[in-house]
Amino acid sequence: MEVSDNLYITLFSDADKDKFPQNTPTQFRNSLPSSIDFTQGLHEVGLKKIVFECNPPPPLSLNSETRKEIQVQIPKPIGEQKITFKVRSAAEFNYTYLGKVDTDGFLTEINLDTEKKYPQFKCKFLINLFPKEEKTQITVVLDTKEGSWLEIPDFFSQLIGLPEHIPAGRHTGEKVALSLYDDLGKPDKVTLTYCEFQMVDEQTQPAPEFGFEPFIKIWAKAVDDAGATIGLLHHYYKDQVNLQINIYEPGETMKLSPVLNLMMNLPSSFEIKSDLHVTFPASNFLPDPIPPTPPTPYIIDSDSYIHILCDIVEEQRVGGSLLPWLTTLKMEKEKSLVQKDFESVSYVPLRKQDVQIQIPRFSCS
């Protein structure tokens, strides 16, 4: 079955008990009448509506072994932080010639101009002619550091028989017809772009005040100052921050300071190498509350929230864990039937591109 632009699937925890006897109200699978093919295009999954019976945990007493006591401290706003980027760096080399009659003459002039005007650009074109076949074969020698590459326009790619992205080293293209230069309109100019990745350290300014909003403005400025093509998108769900980090240039990376990683519930040495979705309490960027007098311990109830998971989506960082997360709901204070309809649906990327017969595990935890 092909997938339309929008597809709704309704799941029931008490369905298909004959096929999935292990199904429970909080973890279950359902069958579908036919398979769903997600291999065409890019798809995302979001939770539109959920209905469930909420059973709150028993109240915690001061003597409960499950309670956790925290020290109440009033920290300062975030100070200067080091963020390390690996960013794409590019240098353009422009060549313009008039009256060239063939590929050989065009590339020969580029080689001569490189030696005179751009001696730092270690790139050369070797020309091998095949008169009987009326063809030519071009070898590109890019004598630059490992990991660098050359980007060339489409017409030039056709002319030399090599792709538009040429890595460092020696590469020989396919044979091309001598007449191709004429067929392309006898081009008389070209821009070659040399690219490499560079490490850039940015030292952020201290945050002017508490909160995630003041900090993300400083973070976005560090991204811009480094020249990185990285997007920071966020929204709030109750007291949680949902942050989407997009790496638009493949190969670019970003490593936050250990302090910032921990504040977003990431491992202290974590490095962001691809798109990432993280969720963390907004209170991580706020001072701890001032205790009443006399001071009493603060009880952190780890069972106050329900995570809605579905294993066809990519894992997201939720607290200290990686989970196939759709959303998080706060448990009701009393046992009740909860019906939640999300007017604004948050979508996450699909992990499995082909769903066969049954919907993979859907669970609440």
Q: What is the pLDDT of residues 25-67, one digit of tens each?
A: 777 788 877 777 766 667 788 888 888 776 655 444 434 443 3
pLDDT (tens digit per residue) in 256-267: 999 898 888 888
With a cut of 80, say whether residue 158 has pLDDT above it: yes
Is 295 inside a domain boundary?
no
Is 156 inside a domain boundary?
yes
Give me the chain's average pLDDT, please: 79
Range name among 39-48, 174-183, 189-198, 282-291 with the lowest pLDDT average: 282-291
State which residues form the domain around 149: 99-187
Q: Across the strands, what pairs with 124?
A: 141
Domain count along the chain:
1
Is 207 inside a domain boundary?
no
Is 46 inside a domain boundary?
no
**Higher-pLDDT residue of 98, 128:** 128
C-alpha dist (Å) from residue 45 to 5, 19, 37, 276, 352: 12, 25, 14, 16, 11
Is 281 inside a domain boundary?
no
Task: Please tell me the predicted confidence (pLDDT) of residue 349.
Answer: 80
Task: Please tell me the predicted confidence (pLDDT) of residue 295.
Answer: 35
The span from the CA of 113 to the CA of 271, in Å, is 42
Mean pLDDT throughout 143-147? 90
Mean pLDDT throughout 333-355? 70
Amino acid (one-letter) located at 144: T
Is 196 inside a domain boundary?
no
Task: Please tell me the predicted confidence (pLDDT) of residue 165.
Answer: 93
Task: Please tell me the predicted confidence (pLDDT) of residue 360.
Answer: 41
Task: Please tell me the predicted confidence (pLDDT) of residue 139.
Answer: 95
The span from the CA of 296 to the CA of 337, in Å, is 34
Helix H or strand E segment including 109: helix 103-117
Q: Please enumerate in sequence order all residues whose Cβ is within 8 A of that of 126, keeping only pairs 6 or more positions apart, or say none.
A: 138, 139, 140, 141
Mean pLDDT throughout 59-79? 46
Q: Please enumerate in sequence order all residues whose Cβ is within 8 A of that of 170, keeping only pairs 6 or more positions apart, or say none.
A: 139, 140, 141, 142
- pTM for the model: 0.52
Is 109 inside a domain boundary?
yes
Task: Please tell me the predicted confidence (pLDDT) of residue 219.
Answer: 94
Is 131 inside a domain boundary?
yes
